[in-house]
Each structure stands twice: as structure tokens, then as C-alpha cells.
Structure 1
Amino acid sequence: MRITRRTLLALPAGVALAAGTSTPAHAAAPRPAIFVHGSAGSAMQFRVQAKRLASNGYPAQIIEAHEYDSPNIVAILAEVYAGLDARIDRLLAASGADRVDLLAHSLGTFVTQGYLNSSPARAARVAHYVNLDGRPAAALPGGVPTLAIWGEGDPARTVAGATNVHFPDQSHTQTVSSAESFTAIHRFLRGGDPRTTEVCPTRVAHVSGRAVLFPSNAGVTEARLEIYRVHPATGRRLGDRPAARAAVGAGGAFGPVPLDPHTRYEFALLRDGQSTHHFYFEPFRRSDSFVRLLTSRPGEGLGALVDTSDRHTALTIQRQKEWWGGEGDHLWINGQDILNPATAPHNRRVIGIFAFDDGSDGVTDLTAPLPEFIAQTFISGVDLFIPASARGTVEVTAQERGAGRTRLSVPAWPSSGHRVSLEFG
């Protein structure tokens, strides 16, 4: 069955996408939902969908992500399968559910299809599978009822026997995070329309997650986390005392920490002998267990390629929807739009951008991306001089194609002692 965005939106409420579903699944409690990310990914790609599921009656504790070291997936595949077995065991025991639902994106569909096809016993514990813009298949993986969601690209891609939904105007990661995808997923898993595709606010947001090394998802060790309330216009701390302190435990886990859903916060990751890594988010409107603080060790990873000095600020900016330079997306840093067809080309599927003064020469050059960064999956880098200042502010404003603008201003921390990451959306 092939469904496009137009036909999806035209389907009457309550029409189930799952073949053989005769009664809306709303009558039963939701099953545990497990997300398996793609290459260089993490739980972050599913953050908004997890909160949408919770806004539609899912207990937050039955929504999880199964993370792994994607660059080494071939060598560790058996280990990843065994970990997924254990996760399913735990969730079934805790929830009392008969089976779980699996959702996977990109490389994660290779992992999940292989898992379902590896053993009838494994497939028997999965009620539904959602294949997000990833691997086609000649048959239902493990015989499990499947929804396959496809974005831009070859319209002939299908999972045979599945419900195949096509959003030809959506980019690769956007198919994971969009409201349209959520509607299709909810109909498939629950047999009817969601009550809302919004993230509904709560009085208190209980926030938890992991501090991890990018892209391996290995947990950060020997770290401390301080959380500060910040001014919405400047990102500067409102007082010297943190609103909360959280231990970073096994696997980099922290929280849950109760936060005000109307307040902006800075998460400061502290490690002895290393630069402080500051993370800034939009307000946490409801509880969120999929927060990931993506970092690296000194001298390792992409962070080692970032030039630093007392004179300039270095930023890493991401969102879970591709930046298309010259096609309606804009990203202004202190009034300078850093997106163009060269720095964020459509075909590179850029969701993360490093912005810093390459060579520490005080000169900006946005005519081309930094080659070491654009060569990485989903990453770009730009040579932008952002002056550092003890009392200065860096204004970062994102214009999303087809939507409005969002600003996340942050202090102008000197890159010699501080790393700064911003997450939009």
C-alpha cells in the first residue's frame, strides 16, 4: 500500500494504517516504544516525537531509545542485538505489555530489520515496526506489521507488504521529527488520530538524559553537571548559584531534574582539566528523557579541529531537520546569515554546524564550508569570527523554512576555555 502526504491527510480520523486492525488500538494501553537511531545519531532525533507520544497518553517511562556506536556497527552488531533483547525484557516486565513497538531511522533500519529477521522468537515480541526513511525490503521484516515512511528521493522505495507513506517534500531527518510523520506513526501504532501533534506543556518538566561522546554514544565519565537559569534575551546566568546540580553517573546518565517549562536554562558539563561545555536549549515544555549532551575528549573528534583563542567564541548548532541553504532556511549569528548553498547544500543533509574563527585570524569567509567538517555525515563547518567578550552576547536566530523564527542568545564565551552547543527544535 502506497500513501502520499495528501492521501494521508485525507484519511478519516480513526482509520487504522495497520493491516488487519479491526478495532482501534486506543482501547488498549500503549505498548513500550523503542527508537533505534541512524548513523552518527542518538536519542536526540526522536526527542520531539517522544514528547508528542507522552502528550497523547503514553507513559514517558515506556518510551526509550536504543543507542549504539554507529561507526562500528558491523563489528558490534551481535552486541547491539543482545542489548536490545535485554531492553525488551526489561520493558515488558515493567509494563506488563505483551509486546513492544520498534521504530528505526536510516542506519537503524538496517539494525532493526536484521534483528527482526534474525529470529522468529525476537520478531514474536514485536507488535509493530516503523521504518523511517531507511532500508527498503522485499518482505515484512520478521513478518512484523510495518509502516515505512519515506522522504525525498526515489519514490519507488518500499517495504513490500507494508504500509508505505511518502512525504516527498521532507528531508531525511525531518521524516523522523515532523508532525506529519507523527500522525502516521500514531495511526499505525494506536489505530486512530492523535489528540494533538503539539508538545503539551506541564507544570513541571522532569528532564534527564545522557552526556555522551559523539558519535560513539559512549557515556562521559568523571563529570559534573550544573544547570543555571538564564536570561531569555542574552543567555546570561541569572545569579551565580546553579538552579540544580546533577551527578553524571554510569553511561553518562543524569537526572531527572525538575525544571520550569517557561524558563530557559544552561547545562554546564564540567570535567577536571577540560573546557566547560555549555549547552543551551529552548524551554523544556514538558518532561524529557531524551536529552543528549554531545561532547568529546580533548584532542579527539571534531572538537579537536576547532581553532580556539581568547578572542573568539566557537559554536556548535543543531536541529533535527536539515538546514537547506538558499531554500528558505536561515541561521543568523550576530546578524550574519551563515547558510548558503555552499555551506549547507541540500544534498549533504546538514543538521549540525560548527561555527568558529578558522585560523584564529579574525576573518570571516562564508564562500565555502570548512572541508574537514562538510566531509562528515550530516555536518558542516563555517569560518565565522564571533568576538568573545566578558559581558558580550552572541545572538543566534534560526529561520525554519515554512515556519517562524527562534532565537537562542548565549554569552560570548572565549573558546580558549569554553565550548558552546545550541539545540533548536
Structure 2
Amino acid sequence: MDLTRRTMLRGAGALPLLAGGFAGNLSFSALAQPAAAPSAANEIPPVLFVHGNGDHAALWITTLWRMESNGVPRERMMAISFTDPLARTDDKVEQANRSSTEDQRRELGEAIKQLKQRTGAMRVALVGNSRGGYSIRNIVKNGGGADVSHAVLCGVPNHGIYQWDEGLGGEFNGRGPFLRGLNEGESEVTAGTAFLTLRSDGMDKYAQADGRFVGKPGVPTGITSDGPALKGATNLVLGALDHREVAFHPRAFREIYKFIAGKEPSRIEIVPEAGVRLSGLVTGAPGGVVTNRPVSGATVEIYRVSPETGERSGGPIHSSQTGADGRWGPAQVEPTWYLEIVLTSSGATTTHFYRSPFPRSSDIVNLRAARPIGSADAGADAVVLMTRPRGYFGLPRDVVLLDGKEPKDVKPGVPTDSTTTLRLAAEEVGRSVVAMFNTERIVARAWPASENRIAVAELTY
């Protein structure tokens, strides 16, 4: 069944304005596939979170924290990082450091097996964003359904990003063999697994009728905002959320938890821990292709910084070097500290990540060096990026300010940009730069580009 934004706005139970800057009323009276209602959090099936194209496990940090804040034990959850997260141009043609649909299905199958063994559970729930939903559907349809109790598909282009006669080998082509195989039959879901889709009310850049969002302006894609919905699933529309927010926003968390647990969450906010331990994986981009392959010999330093100036408060509170497994940490921090995380690795840009406080522990604080300083930065003596991994910048929907100005490289309308760049002259090197997105505020410092350094104000929400 489809529940539109208009239908939901007639319901009861308003959510307060949250970190992403949205408020709205969400309710529904019936589910096409009601999930079983466990009586306690530890009876919820183990949950495995699956990221999208080019992404990694860390995008699920806030979702994991919210799950924990509702009593779901940390050891009953997992977030996968696919080795090669980017799709091939043609699914059947090998490309260096890119994966096929079969590669993804195989890796997800191993992760399911690992989570089942760790928890002793017979079945697990899968939650995926974007391309991650393809691997979920693939494994459920092709022999793995007995292991999967719930499948939650968030912003998944289930009928393609486009439906064109050219490029039929691409997995995002709705006319190609991969998606036709998943969608064939009277029902588009697999019996025995409860399916939920979450989608945007017209603000998902990969569910648009015009091809301008995939490089062909004016060419019809054959796709509408209904593209992520599936026949036979419970299909919910979450309003003006973007392609990533339908997975990572507090609104999305409510629906994910409710569907799997069979009841409303007791809270949406993240409950801080008294002490926080952080660790993660350092990954690289060989040949300019982002991967989740470990980088050895990388140095990670962490500093506590002033929330007002970004200046360091003394020496490093943590320093470690990665081994063959690419792991860094653990670092012990306080849940109120603003941090600067410095990543130095051979042949890569030294990256100074400025972060809001981490309210809870995480072992998926994954780090990848910023892009190289390139021709677009010519004449700049410092480069500062503001990035939003769990959503896009929406203008005029959001408050987006970098150094006191609305960025000119963020396009208005349908949100498509998750990074904005500030370039500074020599006299401004070393000064503070304020990055603001709605209620989240991070202060970075401008480092000299001549030393191959970039500062990144990385938003959490």
C-alpha cells in the first residue's frame, strides 16, 4: 500500500523538529506486510545495515546509536563495508576496484552468516540504502530468503534510475536484465520476508522524470518519484527528504525501528554514553576509485578542539598507525568534545577532519583521505570542505552556511550536493571557518594547501 505525504499529514502524532531540520506528522493505519511484535528489544531480530554505491558502514552510525538508545544491544547489529562499493559500468564486464551485483550478493551473504553465528539467531533483518537495497533484494530472491525476516529498502531505485535502451548492462537501468529479473512476476517482493520501502516526496535525485540528474537534461528517464515503491511491499512516503535522508534521517529511523520491532521507538534522540571509544578503518581510492580496501601505514591523530575557534586544546589525545588490516584506534574521548582527526597516509592529501561531539562509541569511524588538491583549486592557499555524508544540502529547504555565506556551488531545488568548497587566500591561512547546517555547527581551521593539506568540516546529521 502507498501512503503519501498528504495522507500522512492527516494523521496524528507529530515529530518534533530534529537535527535535520524537519517536522511533520506521520501515521498509518495498516501495513501490507505487518511485522511480528517482539515484547522486548533483545527479541528484535539482529539487524544488518547495508550502504549504497561508493559508501561505507559509517553512514549508519547515527542509526546504530538510535537503535542502542532504544535498548537494542550493540552486539546484535552490524554494518557492512563492501570491499569495492562502486558499481561497474556494465555488470558483466570486470572493472578494477568496482563490484558486480554478484560480488555484492556474495559479500552480503557472508555478513549475514557472520551475524547469525554471532547472535545465534535463525533470521536477521536487513536495512539498505540505495544500491544496498539491490544486494538485499538479490539475496532474498535468489536463495537467501530463509535467513531474512525483514527487508527495509530506503531510497532504493527499485525500477532503475532510468529506463533506456542503451547501457542495458548497467545495474541501474530499469530495462536491464538485473532489475527486470528482480521485478518480474505479479509481486515484486519475495514471500516469507516482510518488505518495507521508504521514499521521498519528489526530492530524491535518483527518482526524477528528467534526465538532467543523470547527465542528460531534457531526456525522460521513464522514472518518477514512485520508482522506489514495490508491488507487495509496505510503501511509505516520508515527505521532502532527499535520497540519503530517507535512510539516515530521524524520520526514517522511526519507520525502520517500528517495522522491525513492531512498535514505536521509545525515543528518537541519541542517549549519550559516559565514556566514548572510537575506532575504525582507513581506506583508500586507488586510481581515483573509492574503495573500502584497508590502507596500511596511515597515521591517525586526534585532538580536542575549541567549539568556538577550532583551535587545539593541547597535544594529541590519541595517535596510532594502521597495520595491514587498516584499523586505527581505539581512542577514548568524552561525549561533549569537539574533535580534529588528522589522517596522514602515503601519496594522499593530509586531511584534517573536524567533527561534532560523538555522543556514543563506534568502531566504524571510517576515514578516507580527501580528494587531491587539483586544478580547480589553482590560486587557493587553503581549501576547506563542508561535507554531509548522511544527506544532501537542500536550498532553500535547509540552512547551509560556510564561512557566513550560502555556498554558490550548492544547487537549489532537488538536493544533489553533499560537499561544498571554500578556497582562501594566503592571508587567511590558519583562521577559523564556521560550517553550519541547520542546528549543527562545526568550526574548522584553514590549513596551508602548499603542504598538501585540506580541512574537512564533516557533519554528523
TM-score of the superposition, structure 1-length normalised?
Answer: 0.81
Alignment partner of 2:442 out of 384, 395, 408? 408
* Match of residue 377 from structure 1: none
**Are residues 1:346 and 2:440 paired?**
no
Distance 2:395 2:311 in 1: 29
The more displaced of 126-135 and 22-31 is 22-31
Deviations 1:164-211 (A, max 9, x none): 110131111111111111111111110101111111111011212222
Alignment partner of 1:393 out of 427, 431, 442? 431
Deviations 1:99-131 (A, max 9, x none): 111111112222221222222xx1111111001
Alignment partner of 1:221 out of 292, 296, 299? 296
Q: Secondary structure at the match of 1:398?
A: strand
Summarize the alignment of residues 353-364 of structure 1 with structure 2, pairs less than 5 Å apart: 353-356=420-423
Deviations 1:250-293 (A, max 9, x none): 44322332210011111111225654321111001111233222
* Match of residue 365 from structure 1: none
* Match of residue 313 from structure 1: 382
* Match of residue 3 from structure 1: 3
Summarize the alignment of residues 186-201 of structure 1 with structure 2, pairs less than 5 Å apart: 186-201=257-272
* Match of residue 169 from structure 1: 240
Q: Secondary structure at the match of 1:88?
A: helix
1:142: how far off? 6.4
Q: Secondary structure at the match of 2:377?
A: coil
Q: Secondary structure at the match of 1:337?
A: coil
* Match of residue 246 from structure 1: 320
Q: Secondary structure at the match of 2:449?
A: coil
Counterpart code for 1:70: P
Residues 256 and 127 of structure 1, relative CA distance in 2, 3 Å threshold: farther
* Match of residue 174 from structure 2: none
Distance 2:347 2:225 in 1: 51
Contact between 1:17 and 1:187, CA under 8 Å: does it hold in 2? no
Contact between 2:109 and 2:139, CA under 8 Å: does it hold in 1? no
CA-atom RMSD in angstroms: 2.8
Alignment partner of 1:265 out of 339, 350, 356? 339
* Match of residue 226 from structure 2: 156
Residues 315 and 220 of structure 1, relative CA distance in 2, 3 Å threshold: farther
Contact between 2:36 and 2:261, CA under 8 Å: does it hold in 1? no
* Match of residue 368 from structure 1: none
* Match of residue 150 from structure 2: 128
Question: Matched residue pairs, number?
Answer: 381
**Are residues 1:59 and 2:126 paired?**
no
Alignment partner of 2:45 out of 18, 31, 38? 31
Counterpart code for 1:10: A
* Match of residue 110 from structure 1: 134
Contact between 1:393 and 1:409, CA under 8 Å: does it hold in 2? no
Counterpart code for 1:244: H
Contact between 1:35 and 1:103, CA under 8 Å: does it hold in 2? yes
Distance 2:455 2:316 in 1: 18
Distance 1:199 1:304 in 2: 38
Counterpart code for 2:86: P
Residues 4 and 13 of structure 1, relative CA distance in 2, 3 Å threshold: closer
Unpaired runs of 5+ in structure 2?
14-25, 159-182, 203-223
Unpaired runs of 5+ in structure 1?
357-384
1:316: how far off? 2.2
1:249: how far off? 3.5
Summarize the alignment of residues 298-337 of structure 1 with structure 2, pairs less than 5 Å apart: 303-304=373-374, 307=377, 312-319=381-388, 320-333=390-403, 335-337=404-406
1:13: how far off? 9.8
Residues 346 and 45 of structure 1, relative CA distance in 2, 3 Å threshold: farther
Contact between 1:131 and 1:149, CA under 8 Å: does it hold in 2? yes
Give the structure with the larger strand fraction: 1
The more displaced of 407-416 and 37-46 is 37-46
Alignment partner of 1:206 out of 277, 288, 291? 277
Q: Secondary structure at the match of 2:381?
A: coil
Distance 1:329 1:79 in 2: 39
Q: Secondary structure at the match of 2:86?
A: helix
Residues 337 and 96 of structure 1, relative CA distance in 2, 3 Å threshold: same
Counterpart code for 2:235: N
1:302: how far off? 5.7
Contact between 1:18 and 1:191, CA under 8 Å: does it hold in 2? no
Contact between 2:53 and 2:87, CA under 8 Å: does it hold in 1? no
Deviations 1:349-379 (A, max 9, x none): 21122333xxxxxxxxxxxxxxxxxxxxxxx
* Match of residue 367 from structure 1: none
